[in-house]
Structure 1
């Protein structure tokens, strides 16, 4: 197998991103077992601090179990608006510094530095990029530099938190060899258990299994796992592209049939992501409403609209879609809304009922929200008793 020695791929990963943002907002939380996720027993962990992880906590763990394992943990519901804001800050810094990067999640990035070794040196450049991100955002970040995406990602996970590592070309296989097989991306629970039952506990053992045997055992996935175990990955860094949608959803602590409550939640969510839409200077041309009943049946309905970013236009459509969807008179578990068909756009008179008053109203509302936060000003019909607003 051939590995391109000229490739230099860095993987950057924000350390426990949601938790780091919360600690940045409230430094008192630093060093404490902190959980970001649903506060009720039906919620799950979205992220947890390294102090909490010492008790066995991890993302996607049910909150009820997390509280049992770590009763002293501090639970915060989280704020996706803030997380998105900081994610965009990091994205902007990286976009300003590097020619090609891939945003693989809200807090992970791949950077293709191939060719830059002739100028600054890839190691020095990546170290400086880490310092810049930390200095300008206040958030900790870890990274690893290698010849491909696979090895750089695995290496980053090995040096977190706040670490950095370079895997020189030609040492990919020896770096991976002593690691447990579960460290290889693509090895899930079932495949991992199967390999361990076969006595394959380390990446070295996996890499030494004949390709044909792995193919017979796992099919096409067997060949891919053999390549990964040998540190081979030729997947390119996909240039970052603008998002295709903006969405949010809410799972309720208790299933409900209260229409006043459901409409209030839908209004609140729609208003929030409509503000996010306008903050990104975008307009939407399609609205989708999602509804999940207590028996887990999930239904969606969408409608194309003239491109708009106006709450009163979007809300009218969203409520109409909800009324069409809610036809079973069953308890509801979840409501969600999504905007798609996004285009760049800003305030346009014909999108605001042709009135200057409406334009000035939205400008004033968004100005207040930008200054004091999106929850500072809300529609009365989006407020429910006991919500804290």
Structure 2
């Protein structure tokens, strides 16, 4: 059996993914400062090219600010449907080739290649997979190959764009030592400032600080940071399963055909599990609706959607799908909503045409729901009369995982 210390983990990252897809669609955009996002002054930058980054532009920056920094930058609206399809194309290629992989976000993957050196050259195999992805999709992609997930991700970041790097087993600390502390995962502006105030500027210095002292400075995060500075990461590669889903159902106290009530229930259930998606920092790429009629016939219908976890986008798809599915005009006993094809990500990347205010609104809504419970803040259409509340019957307070 291979120990954790002898693992071989590859981290693949599609370079400037949204920008690369846009350049693939329009080759005239290559080599130019390109911003992907909404066009209004209050919109935000969802992604930017390396050429745009040279002007100090970064993702989540207000579009107005970005255009002040680089007035001649080109702006393209985001197309989440197109990006989702390219992400799925890359996933399919990796799934065909890799023994074990984890899709950690729409554009990042971890592959566990432990033991493959007995039969293949792991670096050679990984490089060939990278070339296959480039050939079949046309997208640039980089990878790092190392003994754990953290080192492989840092290695990828060091060779982007369109590069590859292997860190041999035993060289983890040597690789990290000269790097600024901000190169480590978990070291953001605040943590970095705290450490630099104490004279800690590179990873080598950080790795030599007693773990008890780091814990005193940073709490439990100090222990995790000490491990990272010393190249230690036992996090497993979690197998990716498209079938993983989150869903909820509502069985009515009495069979009904009251569309106003059913619409309110669809809104309530969608908001509930969309909130759960955001809590887990996940996006869904597939929506399924379930209907059980009064004669107990049960039907389901699903559709693939651009990755998102936004209430207003998901509600549109849920209602559209329900209208297509509900065709018998019988009384309904139960309805259900399921989100599947889930990947890591946050809702900012899908709000291409939304403003900073919209993003702030979602953050405020989720803050209130986290503090008081999801059911204490909902759309007005969810407010039912006492009679219709009786019709709804008891409902679970939290989403649950199951198969329809």
Alignment of 1:268-287 (within 5 A): 269-270=316-317, 274=321, 285-286=336-337
| Other structure's SS at 2:13 match | strand
Q: Count the aligned residue pairs.
A: 290
Q: 1:295 to 1:158 in 2, by over 3 A?
A: closer
- Kindly state the Cα deviation for residue 121 of structure 1 after the two structures are TM-superposed: 1.2
| 8 A Cα contact 1:11 1:110, kept in partner | yes
2:182 aligned partner: 182
Q: Quickly say closer, same or farther: Cα 1:125–1:266, change in 2 above 3 A.
A: closer
Asked whether the 8 Å contact 2:173–2:229 carries over to 1, the reply is yes
Task: Supply the distance in 2 between the matched residues of 1:86 and 1:295 (Cα, whole angstroms).
Answer: 29
1:17-56 correspondence runs (5 A): 17-56=17-56
Q: TM-score, normalised by structure 2?
A: 0.65
Q: Could you say which residue in structure 2 is the equivalent of 1:120?
A: 120
**Structure with bigger RCO (C-alpha 8 Å, 6+ apart):** 2
Determine if contact 1:142/1:162 at 8 Å carries over to the other structure: yes
Alpha carbons 2:308, 2:314 under 8 Å: kept = no
Which residue of 376, 381, 384 corresponds with 1:324? 381
Q: 1:213 to 1:298 in 2, by over 3 A?
A: closer
Residues 1:267 and 1:175: Cα distance change in structure 2 (over 3 Å): closer
Given that residues 287 and 340 in structure 1 are in contact (C-alpha distance below 8 angstroms), is that contact kept between their aligned partners in structure 2?
A: no
Distance change (3 Å), C-alpha of 1:82 and 1:120 = same
Matched ranges for 1:341-356 at <5 A: none
Change (3 A) 1:181 1:267: closer
- 2 CA distance for matches of 1:223 and 1:341? 33
Gaps spanning 5+ residues in structure 1: where?
252-264, 279-283, 302-320, 328-338, 345-389
Q: Look up the match of 2:158.
A: 158
> Cα deviations across residues 29-59 of structure 1 (Å, max 9, x unaligned)?
1111101112212221111111111111111
Return the alpha-carbon distance in structure 2 between the equivalents of residues 137 and 322 of structure 1. Answer: 41
Q: What residue in structure 2 maps to residue 68 of structure 1?
A: 68
What does residue 95 of structure 2 align with? 95
Aligned to 2:198: 198
Compute the displacement of 1:60 (Å).
Answer: 1.2
TM-score (norm 1): 0.67
- Give the root-mean-square deviation of aligned CA atoms: 3.3
Question: How far did 1:269 drift?
Answer: 4.1
The one of 298, 302, 305 aligned to 2:365: 298
**For 1:158-199, what per-residue CA distance to the aligned partner results, in whole angstroms no more than 9, with x for missing partners?**
100000000001110010011110110011221111001111
The alpha-carbon distance between structure 1 residues 63 and 153, as it changes in their structure 2 partners (threshold 3 A), is: same
Provide the residue aligned with 2:109 in structure 1: 109
How has the CA–CA distance of structure 1 residues 30 and 199 changed in structure 2, closer, same or farther, with 3 Å as cutoff?
same
Structure 1 residues 89 and 52 mapped into 2: Cα distance closer, same or farther (>3 Å)?
same
State how 1:216-255 maps to structure 2 within 5 Å: 216-242=216-242, 244=245, 245=284, 246=286, 248=308
Mapped partners of 2:358, 2:59: distance in 1: 25
Give, in whole Å, the separation in 2 of the partners of 1:7 and 1:268.
43
Cα distance between partner residues in 2 of 1:293 and 1:50: 27
C-alpha separation between the residues in 2 aligned to 1:216 and 1:322? 44
Judged with a 3 Å threshold, the aligned counterparts in structure 2 of structure 1 residues 235 and 71 are, in CA distance, closer, same or farther, namely same
Deviation sequence 1:329-378 (CA, Å, 0-9, x none): xxxxxxxxxx997968xxxxxxxxxxxxxxxxxxxxxxxxxxxxxxxxxx
**Residue 273 of structure 1, CA deviation:** 8.1
Q: Name the SS for the 2:194 alignment partner.
A: helix
Distance 1:250 1:63 in 2: 20
Residues in 2 aligned to 1:325 and 1:63: alpha-carbon distance in whole angstroms: 34
Partner of 1:317: none
Contact 1:285 1:342 in 2 (8 A): no
Which piece of structure 1 moves more, 185-194 or 103-112? 185-194
Secondary structure, counterpart of 1:298 in structure 2: helix
